[in-house]
Structure 1
Amino acid sequence: EEEAFNRIEIIDQQGKLIYDESINEQGFYYIEINLPAGMYYVKMSGDSSPSIQKILLMK
């Protein structure tokens, strides 16, 4: 069974919260924001422990 996430956050390398939104959809979720190149963390929270993924944005 897939984890149902209800919140997504994007955090920069300095720990600053860049994006924070509650979500209702399951599966694919599209975010359109313009960020400078760099390292970011995507945190998805749900009913159980959060999932954090590190992403490198290159332009």
Structure 2
Amino acid sequence: MTIIDQFDDPTATFVVALDPDGRPSVRSGYLPLPPGWTTLHRPDDFQACSDYRARYLAANPGDAG
């Protein structure tokens, strides 16, 4: 079995989610979110999720983690 780091896998998907304290995070799209987390951005590639998180933080500066 070959284990591939999700950041090295071009087919990996990610989501942008808010933790219970309201801080956005890029998380693996493969694993379920922990209790209390909510999805902000649909499954997408890492760069798209990073860009979304940056735009979210620019629009919501008090939510920086």
Task: Determine if the TM-score, normalized by the shorter chain, exceeds 0.5.
Answer: no
TM-score interval (norm. to shorter):
0.3 to 0.5
From the two aligned structures, give the one with the greater strand fraction: 1
**TM-score, structure 2 length as denominator?**
0.34
**TM-score, structure 1 length as denominator?**
0.36
From the two aligned structures, give the one with the greater helix fraction: 2
Larger Rg: 2
